[in-house]
């Protein structure tokens, strides 16, 4: 086995061990069962999420694309970056709008960081015909991947960091601030952050985006059980679980859960672990906070960023804002 294969095998082993540890911590302890949302994005999960973005109920993706179509040239004019670093590139379809605008001015380096190999493969396909773009695709958690990009940057290299899609809302408030501060520490004055945030809207508009009638979001959520069966030897019976989406107007959070429909026990053969579920008990798999514009600016400011300009979509309230590293 050559060095590259050994390195890949070692990385897969580490990722599996981390998954096992998170399952033990999130499912076997007291209180609300939960798992980090990053585990939703295996190869199938990433493909299902791309399908979700096509659903008429899921307005987030189209809202951000409409904003980017309007503002990509403005971003290019306001930002002097020559290296673009993106967290959670997905298929990079929207990212391409920004890259094309910047490439009309200068050659670019692009670093895509994603936990999903499938998403990175889709990004590579989307961007492969862009002249003047030197692209690198990093399969890693966001901050470790970012640290690698920061460590490799040249003395005069200017960064534009992209965090699109409203993914900031997946963090709790304290975690969002901590995460943005970690990003800011890796940047230099003159670097920039292009940040997307989904804004507050009525529950009747929000909930169908997370519980669509076709059942694509349900399949995306329940696929986490399939992944645990495959990778950890669990024996989840999917017919005994269902997808649930909830909206709390007080916190402005949409929560996704996998709910047990009966009292049951699930065994993890590879972990020597058994987990009990009561009827109605859930695994919390993802939260999506819906912001007010001032809340996003305050959060970015507390992390050390200064707002340069913001753009909003009115049809599906969404904010895209450019911040400089103050």
Averaged pLDDT in 10-residue chunks for the chain of 326 residues: 55 86 95 96 93 96 96 95 94 95 95 91 94 94 94 93 94 94 96 97 95 98 98 98 96 97 97 96 97 97 97 96 94
Query: Which of 91, 83, 37, 84 shows the shortest CA–CA distance to 65?
Result: 91
Q: What is the pLDDT of residue 2?
A: 64
CA 193 remoteness from chain centre = 16
Question: What structural domains does the chain harbor?
Answer: 59-201+291-325 (3.40.50.150)
Judged on CB neighbours under 10 Å (0-12, 13-18, 19+), 154 is: exposed
State the Cα–Cα distance between residues 204 and 209, nearest whole angstrom.
Answer: 9
- Other beta carbons within 10 angstroms of residue 55's beta carbon come to 17
What is the bridge-based pairing of β-strands 133-139 and 108-114? parallel
* Largest CA-CA distance found in the chain, in angstroms, rounded: 61
Instruction: Judge contact between 245 and 207, C-beta under 8 A.
Output: yes
Compute the C-alpha angle 201/173/36, nearest 5°: 95
């Amino acid at each position: 086995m050559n060095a590259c294969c050994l390195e890949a095998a070692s990385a897969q082993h580490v990722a599996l061990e981390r998954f096992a540890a998170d399952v033990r911590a999130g499912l076997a302890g007291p209180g609300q069962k939960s798992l980090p949302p990053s585990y939703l994005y295996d190869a199938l999960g990433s493909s299902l999420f791309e399908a979700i973005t096509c659903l008429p109920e899921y307005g987030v993706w189209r809202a951000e694309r409409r904003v980017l179509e309007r503002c990509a040239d403005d971003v290019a004019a306001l930002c002097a970056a020559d290296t673009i670093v993106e967290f959670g590139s997905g298929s990079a379809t929207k990212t391409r709008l920004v890259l094309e605008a910047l490439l009309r001015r200068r050659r670019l380096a692009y670093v895509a960081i994603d936990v999903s190999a499938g998403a990175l493969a889709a990004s590579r396909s989307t961007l492969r015909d862009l002249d003047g773009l030197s692209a690198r695709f990093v399969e890693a958690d966001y901050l470790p991947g970012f640290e690698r990009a920061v460590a490799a940057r040249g003395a005069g290299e200017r960064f534009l960091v992209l965090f699109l899609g409203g993914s900031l809302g997946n963090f709790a408030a304290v975690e969002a601030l901590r995460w943005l501060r970690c990003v800011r520490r890796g940047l230099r004055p003159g670097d920039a952050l292009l940040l997307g945030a989904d804004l507050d809207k009525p529950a009747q508009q929000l909930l169908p985006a997370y519980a669509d009638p076709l059942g694509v979001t349900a399949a995306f959520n329940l696929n986490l059980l399939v992944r645990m069966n495959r990778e950890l030897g669990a024996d989840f019976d999917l017919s005994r679980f269902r997808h649930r989406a909830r909206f709390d107007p007080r916190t402005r959070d949409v929560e996704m859960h996998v709910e047990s429909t009966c009292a049951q026990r699930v065994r993890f053969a590879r972990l020597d672990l058994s987990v009990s579920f009561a009827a109605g008990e859930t695994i919390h798999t993802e939260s999506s906070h819906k912001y007010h514009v001032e809340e996003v600016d305050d959060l970015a400011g507390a992390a050390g960023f200064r707002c340069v300009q913001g753009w909003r979509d009115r049809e599906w309230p969404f904010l895209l804002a450019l911040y400089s590293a103050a």
